Structure 1
Amino acid sequence: MSHAACFSHDAKSDLQRNLADFHPCVWGDYFIQYDSESVELDQNISAQIDALKKEVRNMFNISKTEKPSEKINLIDSICRLGVSYHYENEIDEVMQYIHKSYVENGEITLEDNLCTLSVLFRLLRQQGFHVSPNVFNQFKDEQGNFSERLITDVEGMLSLYEASHMMVHGEEILEKALAFTSTHLESIVTQLSPFLAAQVKHSLKQALHRNFHRLEARRYISIYEKDPSHNETLLTLAKLDFNILQCLHRKEFGKICKWWKEIDIPKNLPYVRDRIVEMCFWVLAVYFEPQYSQARKMMIKVITLLSIIDDTYDAYGSIDELELFTKAIERWDISSMDGLPNYMKLIYISVLKVLEEVEEDMTKEGRLYTLKYYIKEFQMVVQAYVTEARWFNNNYVPTVEEYLQISKITCCHSLLTTSSYIGMGETATENIFKWVSNWPKIVDAISTICRLMDEIVTSEFERKRGHVCSLLDCYMKQYGMSREAAIQECKKEIAIAWKVVNSECLRPTKVPMPFLTRALNLARFMDVVYKDEDNYTRSEGLMKSYIKAVLVDPVPI
C-alpha cells in the first residue's frame, strides 16, 4: 500500500479555494510499460556502434593539407547530431588547435566565406573562447551596415543569425547582425526551396544556441540526411545512438511514472497539475547523458515536489494552512507534521522521503555536505512562496524590484541548479555548492529568463483564477505603462539576461563548464517550452509533440 493511501482528502471545507482548471495528464500510463523493459543492447548493434564511434574518432586527426573549414563543419555536425558527448576531449583539442592557428589577440584571422566564419565564431564561443566579432566587419558596406549583397547568401545569413545569439554585452556588431539577418530571412523565406525554407523558419522560431540537445538532434538527423555531402558513418552513429538513448530514457520515465502513480495525485491532490511526463522531459533537457541516469531520477523527484507545492501555494491552500506548512518546512522534522491538514501531510511526508533517498545515496558517496545546501534552498523557495501568498491575501501590489526579488526565487532555478549537482558525483565538490548558494550571476540571469518568460505567457490565465499579481501588473501600476509596453520591457530584460549567461560561459569560468551547462540548459528549456505559451501547464499541444519526437518515435534506420 502506498503512503499516499494513508490519507483521505480533507472534508470539503467552506474555504473559498481558487482551483485552476488544469487538463488531466495527456499520457495516461503510456510510459509505465517501459518500466520492466531491459535496456540490454543487442551484441551486434553494440559492436557496430563501437566501430562507428572509432571511425568518427579518427576523423578528428588534424592533417596539414586539410582546410580548417572541413574540421569546423565536422564538429558542428557532431554537436548538432547529438553525439558530441562521446568526443568532448577530441572537440576541445581541435578547437584549441584552431584557436591557436587562426586567432590572434582575440581576432579571427582565417579567411573564408560568411557561413564558415559564422560557424567558427559560434563554435569557439560555445567552447568558451572569447573571440572578437570584428571578423564580421568585412561583410559591411561603406555606411557601416551589413551589405545588401549578403541577401542572396541564405546559408551565410542563417549561420550569422545563429552566431549572433552568442553575443555578450557591448557587441553592437552582433546586435546589428541579428536585426539584419532576422529581417531579411523573414522576408525571403517564401522564395526559398521547401528544404531551406523549413530550416530558416525553424531557426527564426528557435535559435540553435537556445534549443536543447535531444530536440535538436532529432530534428537535425533528418536535415543532415538530406544533405548530399553528409557523412554516412556519422549519420548512422547518430541514428543508432539516438535510439539507444531513447530506450534508456523511456525506461527511466517508466520507473518515475510508476512512483508517481503510487502517490495517486488525481485522487489525493486533485488540484495539482498532473504533469509527471513533462517533468521528466524537463530534467532530460538538463542532462541526457547515460552517466547521469541516477542524477535524473533524483532531480525529477525534486521538481515534482516543487510543482505540487507551487500549485498548493498558488491556489489551493488557505493562508493559515500555508503559514503552517512554511513553519513545518523551516523546522524540517517529521514531528512538525502534526498540525497540518491531511492533504499537506502527504506533501510533507513526500518531501522528507525524497530527502531520505538522497541522503542514502550521498552517504554511500561520502558527499553528505550536499544536503545542507539542498535543504537551505528548499526552505528559501517555500519562504518566498508564502510571501507571494501573503501579497495575494492582502491584495498587495509590490514594486517591480520587490516582486522580482521574490519571484526569481519562486521560479526555483537556483534550487533546481543545486539539485542538478547532487547526482553529478565527486566532481561536484563542496566548493561548487558554496558557489551556487551565493546566487552567482548565471543563476540570477537564468532565474530572470525563467521568471520573465513565464510572466509573459501565464499572467492572463492566472489573473482569471485569482492569483498573486503578475510582474506585468507591477510594471503597469508603477510606471503607468500599458500591458504591451510591460511585455516589451520584459523581452528587453530577457535579452540582457542571455548576454550575461553567454558571458559567464566564457573562459576563465568560475566553475568547470559541466556545471554551467546545467544552468544554461535550464534557460534553454524555458526558451523552448515557454516561448509563445505555457506549454508545461497546457501540455496537449507542442509539448506533447516534442516528447513524442524524443521519446516515442524511434529514428528510422
Structure 2
Amino acid sequence: MRGEDILDEAIAFARPLLESLAMQSSPHLAKHINDALSMPFHRGLPRVEARKFIYFYEEEESHNETLLKFAKLDYNRVQLLHKQELGVVSRWWKELDLAKGLPYVRDRIAEGFFQSAGVQFEPNFALSRILLTKCIQILALVDDTYDSYVVFLGVEKLAGVKEFKWLETNPKLVEASKFFGRLLNDMVARKDEEKEGHCLAGNCYMKEYGVSKEKAMEELRKMCDNAWKDMNEESMRPTAVPMPLITSIVNLARMMEVVFQYDDGYTIASSLKDHVTLMFVEPIPED
C-alpha cells in the first residue's frame, strides 16, 4: 500500500540477493525465484500460479504426497470443467460464423475464455465465465469495427442493484484497476497502433515532460506499481458489496498483468498459447 516505504526498501534490498541466490540454487528453486521476481505471486493469476507452485512443490524433498495428489486432482477436475465450458463458447462462436462477413474480426475465443477464467475460476461461476467470454468477443467485434466504440446496454440486469449502484460511484478499486490495464496495454502497444494515431500513455508522457521513451516507460511502471498499492488497500477495506465482486476486480488486474506482460497477448495469439494450453488442455500428470 502507499506509504509503506519500508516494504519498498525491503524489495530493493532483497532483489539483488535473490537474483544472486537463483544463480547458485538448484534448477527448480532458481525457476521459482526468477518467476517470483518477474511476476510477484500476488499479482499473478491464481490458476497460473497454482500450477507453477504444484510443479515446484513436487520437486521439494519434504513434500507431502497426499497433499500433492489432492492438489493435482483438484486442478485437473477444475480444468476439465473449464474445457467443457470452452467447448460451449467455441460452438457458439462457430455458429455465429462472423468470419465470412467480417473477416477483420479477431478470432480469439480461447484467449477470451482465458481472460474470463482468470477473473473467476471457481467451479460455481461457470455461467459467469461463459457469459463474460461472449461479452469479450462481442466487445472485440465492436472494437474492431468502430475503433474503441463500445456501448453497455442493460448491464444492471447482470448484477444486483446494490452492486451496480456501487460500480456507478466509480470506486477507487475499479478506477485503479482500469488505470492499471490502460497503462499496461499502452506500454506494449504495437507499432501499427502508433501509426494509426492512437493516443498512447508513453507518447503523451514523453511529449509532456520531454523525456526519453525509456524514462517514460520507467515512470509508467511506477504508476502501475502505485495502482497495485491502491488496489491492495481498497480490496482490504470493508465494503457493503460481496467479497467475490472485489476479488473479481482484483483478478481482472491480475489477468491484464499476464496478458500484457510482454506484448498484446490478446491480439497476438501466440503470446498466450502456453498459458491456454496448460490451463485448459494439458492436465497435470497424477502418477
Pairwise TM-score range, normalised by the shorter structure: over 0.9
Give the aligned residue type for 1:534: D
Question: Residue 373 of structure 1 aligns with which residue?
Answer: 156
Quick check: 1:452 aligned with 2:183?
Answer: yes
Distance in 2, matches of 1:467 and 1:276, equals 28
Distance in 1, matches of 2:284 and 2:135, equals 31
Report if the CA contact (8 A) 2:72-2:284 is conserved.
Answer: yes
Give the aligned residue type for 1:435: W
Report if the CA contact (8 A) 1:501-1:520 is conserved.
Answer: yes
Report if the CA contact (8 A) 1:455-1:471 is conserved.
Answer: yes
Quick check: 1:501 aligned with 2:231?
Answer: yes
Report if the CA contact (8 A) 2:29-2:56 is conserved.
Answer: no
Question: Residue 40 of structure 2 aligns with which residue?
Answer: 207
Quick check: 1:492 aligned with 2:275?
Answer: no
Instruction: Write the mapping of 1:505-516 to structure 2, written as runs, cut at 5 A.
Output: 505-516=235-246
Shift of 1:372: 5.2
Match of 2:91 among 247, 258, 272: 258
Report if the CA contact (8 A) 1:314-1:468 is conserved.
Answer: no
Match of 2:250 among 502, 511, 520: 520
Structure 1 residues 438 and 544: CA distance shift in structure 2, 3 A: same
Quick check: 1:431 aligned with 2:158?
Answer: no
Quick check: 1:556 aligned with 2:276?
Answer: no
Question: Residue 265 of structure 2 aligns with which residue?
Answer: 535
Question: Residue 200 of structure 2 aligns with which residue?
Answer: 470
Which SS does the other structure have where 1:540 is aligned?
helix
Instruction: Write the mapping of 1:336-485 to structure 2, written as runs, cut at 5 A.
Output: 371=154, 373=156, 422=158, 429-464=160-195, 466-485=196-215
Report if the CA contact (8 A) 1:249-1:551 is conserved.
Answer: yes
Instruction: Write the mapping of 1:251-290 to structure 2, written as runs, cut at 5 A.
Output: 251-290=84-123
Shift of 1:451: 0.3
Question: Residue 194 of structure 1 aligns with which residue?
Answer: 27
- Deviation track 1:284-337 (CA, whole Å, cap 9, x = no partner) reads 00111111111111111111111111122229xxxxxx7xxx8xx69x7xxxxx
Distance in 1, matches of 2:211 and 2:205, equals 7
Which SS does the other structure have where 2:283 is aligned?
coil
Which SS does the other structure have where 1:439 is aligned?
coil
Report if the CA contact (8 A) 1:265-1:274 is conserved.
Answer: no
Moved over 6 A (4+): none
Match of 2:11 among 165, 171, 178: 178
Distance in 2, matches of 1:290 and 1:206, equals 25
Shift of 1:195: 1.9
Quick check: 1:229 aligned with 2:12?
Answer: no
- Deviation track 1:5-54 (CA, whole Å, cap 9, x = no partner) reads xxxxxxxxxxxxxxxxxxxxxxxxxxxxxxxxxxxxxxxxxxxxxxxxxx
Report if the CA contact (8 A) 1:459-1:470 is conserved.
Answer: no
Identity between Structure 1 and Structure 2 (%): 43
- Deviation track 1:368-400 (CA, whole Å, cap 9, x = no partner) reads xxx3536xxxxxxxxxxxxxxxxxxxxxxxxxx
Report if the CA contact (8 A) 2:85-2:130 is conserved.
Answer: yes
Which SS does the other structure have where 2:31 is aligned?
helix
- Deviation track 1:93-139 (CA, whole Å, cap 9, x = no partner) reads xxxxxxxxxxxxxxxxxxxxxxxxxxxxxxxxxxxxxxxxxxxxxxx
RMSD: 1.9
TM-score for both structures, normalised by structure 1:
0.49
Distance in 2, matches of 1:176 and 1:492, equals 14
Give the aligned residue type for 1:445: A
Shift of 1:233: 2.1
Shift of 1:206: 1.3
Distance in 1, matches of 2:29 and 2:155, equals 51
Report if the CA contact (8 A) 2:173-2:231 is conserved.
Answer: yes
Aligned length: 286
Give the aligned residue type for 1:554: P
Distance in 1, matches of 2:190 and 2:41, equals 28
Distance in 1, matches of 2:29 and 2:69, equals 23
Quick check: 1:302 aligned with 2:149?
Answer: no
Higher RCO structure (Cα 8 Å, ≥6 apart): 2
Question: Residue 140 of structure 1 aligns with which residue?
Answer: none
Give the aligned residue type for 1:494: C
Shift of 1:189: 2.0
Long gaps (5+) in structure 1: 1-167, 316-321, 333-370, 375-421, 423-427
Report if the CA contact (8 A) 2:163-2:241 is conserved.
Answer: yes
Report if the CA contact (8 A) 2:205-2:216 is conserved.
Answer: yes
Distance in 2, matches of 1:458 and 1:484, equals 15
Shift of 1:510: 4.8
